[in-house]
Chains A and B, each alone.
Chain A
């Protein structure tokens, strides 16, 4: 399912979070959004699921304008917020049960499937969330996202706070999803190797604008991938993505000064 954002502006008081952002995510792609803190990634994701509305411009998912019909969009989208959490008094299975019931999904078996898919054991799922580690909460969050077999997955910094093993397992889950389904996966990350590994396409956000977008291999190879409207061609595929220097592409896209300011983000996460 295709995602389109056209000339989107969003301000919070004096702060311009998105400044005429335009972006297209082709159906079925795994799309990484990279940018420094404050680049507008989370704001864009909030607009994608209708948590917020743009001051100007349009955001659509599968042709449905999110501003006009956010609930319809949310039926088709699984969204994992950056700060996901669950009430301490619920078990993991019960939290999933709330999702199942609100979505009107018919079968409890889907809960068991989702639990298994994210690598939680049945025992863990029956424990109170208060006893969960951060990694387990992220897994549970991912299970809630996967529960309805969504057409679009929107994951806001899904590996933040995970240990290396958790990150690896998350990568495996996303790779399974992309291999087994036609779902469009959009996630933002500070971890450039993660984007290189999982995504066939990426966009660099800076100061609320898309500075570069296109197939990951073309970005990494230094191609001028500045046309976010088209996503810069249809040549890349998940199986055929390149392994160039995405970090250099990122620095090139946001400018050297900004890149120096963003050093912590890129250095911290790029081994």
Chain B
């Protein structure tokens, strides 16, 4: 069962612009009333209709953006106040610093690249877990609180709430990633000079992307789950699958069947962690330390296709969640 208001508004492309919560009977004319557009009375009726429709559409888009922004800011504020931002930043600082201090691949490249490779291995485990922990209660948790029913009772599309929730929490995760691993980056630059910056920035971009991808997965699980504990369990299973099991299975397939390059690519792209590893490590000129990643050099995946895959892992789960949330019964 779909949310009727969203179905009608989104599928019919209808946009309402009445901003004051009052009587929205003259929908198409609101833009003009707001001074956003004026329809010349001497123009033909059809032109006026088109203008009014365009005004209404742009007003509707602005309204939708405002809704998304309000929800995102609220989510960001809540995450900051609940110490999520601080906790994640601290986590990334501590683990990044630890890796910088104690580790380094013996078979990888030397210098800064070696450190970045080690950070990549760390991030492949840590960032997905952090993103899943941050996002698993995004929808089901708000429903438990009673807040979701309150927000859905407002003149807002459910998909806008989902998008805002994702973006707000993404801002927290991105901020923590930039600050937390930025600390490691500062140490790398201090140790190895600015020449090491490009390798680190590639790592940072990949880390942001894989975090965003797992946050999107968490949001989807949170939308599907009926209870918070179910969402948490599903999130943990997702982490085990993507971070631990998938690589092992893929490695077994590669060893047993010698799959084609296309199949190999599919195996990489079907896991954001693998795509992240290949994305970052191929930029360093190595796949050492990447487990399954080590056998992927011949898969022929370009940086662009890897980035696109990570982008898809961010967008598709959110889009599916935005669709499924309409069916959610409060």
Of B63, B67, B77, B153, which contacts A51 at CB under 8 A? B153
Q: How large is the interface on B (under 10, 10 to 19, 20 to 34, 35 or more residues)?
A: 35 or more
Mask: chain A, 60-99; 1 = CB below 8 Å from B; 0 = not: 0000001111111111110101011111111000100011
Chain A residues contacting B82 (CB-CB under 8 Å) are: 89
Tell me if A150 counts as interface (CB < 8 A to partner B). Answer: yes
Of B8, B19, B67, B142, which contacts A68 at CB under 8 A? B8
Chain A residues contacting B107 (CB-CB under 8 Å) are: none
A85 to B147, alpha carbons, bound, how many Å? 5
Q: How large is the interface on A (under 10, 10 to 19, 20 to 34, 35 or more residues)?
A: 35 or more
A99 to B81, alpha carbons, bound, how many Å? 20
Chain B residues contacting A223 (CB-CB under 8 Å) are: none
Q: Which residues of chain A in 138-197 are interfacial with respect to chain B, using CB atoms and an 8 Å cutoff?
A: 141, 144, 148-151
A69 to B6, alpha carbons, bound, how many Å? 8
A73 to B9, alpha carbons, bound, how many Å? 12
Tell me if A53 counts as interface (CB < 8 A to partner B). Answer: yes
A90 to B75, alpha carbons, bound, how many Å? 10
Highest count of chain A CB atoms <10 Å: which of B9, B70, B78, B157: B70
A39 to B4, alpha carbons, bound, how many Å? 23
Closest Cβ neighbor of B153 among chain A residues: A79
Tell me if B259 counts as interface (CB < 8 A to partner A). Answer: no
Closest Cβ neighbor of A78 among chain B residues: B153
Tell me if B256 counts as interface (CB < 8 A to partner A). Answer: no
Mask: chain B, 1-25; 1 = CB below 8 Å from A; 0 = not: 1111110110000101011111110
Tell me if B330 counts as interface (CB < 8 A to partner A). Answer: yes
Tell me if B263 counts as interface (CB < 8 A to partner A). Answer: no
Of A74, A76, A101, which contacts B66 at CB under 8 A? A101
Q: Contacts A75-B18, A101-B70, A102-B155 hold; do A86 and B150 have CB atoms under 8 A apart?
A: yes
Highest count of chain B CB atoms <10 Å: which of A46, A98, A144: A98
Tell me if A104 counts as interface (CB < 8 A to partner B). Answer: yes
Tell me if B255 counts as interface (CB < 8 A to partner A). Answer: no
A87 to B149, alpha carbons, bound, how many Å? 12
A76 to B9, alpha carbons, bound, how many Å? 16
Tell me if B40 counts as interface (CB < 8 A to partner A). Answer: no
20 contacts between A and B (CB under 8 A): A66-B4, A67-B4, A71-B156, A72-B24, A72-B155, A74-B154, A75-B22, A83-B146, A84-B146, A84-B149, A85-B147, A86-B147, A101-B70, A102-B66, A102-B70, A102-B154, A102-B156, A104-B20, A105-B21, A148-B20
Q: Which A residues fall within an 8 A CB radius of B?
A: 12, 46, 49-53, 66-77, 79, 81, 83-90, 94, 98-99, 101-106, 141, 144, 148-151
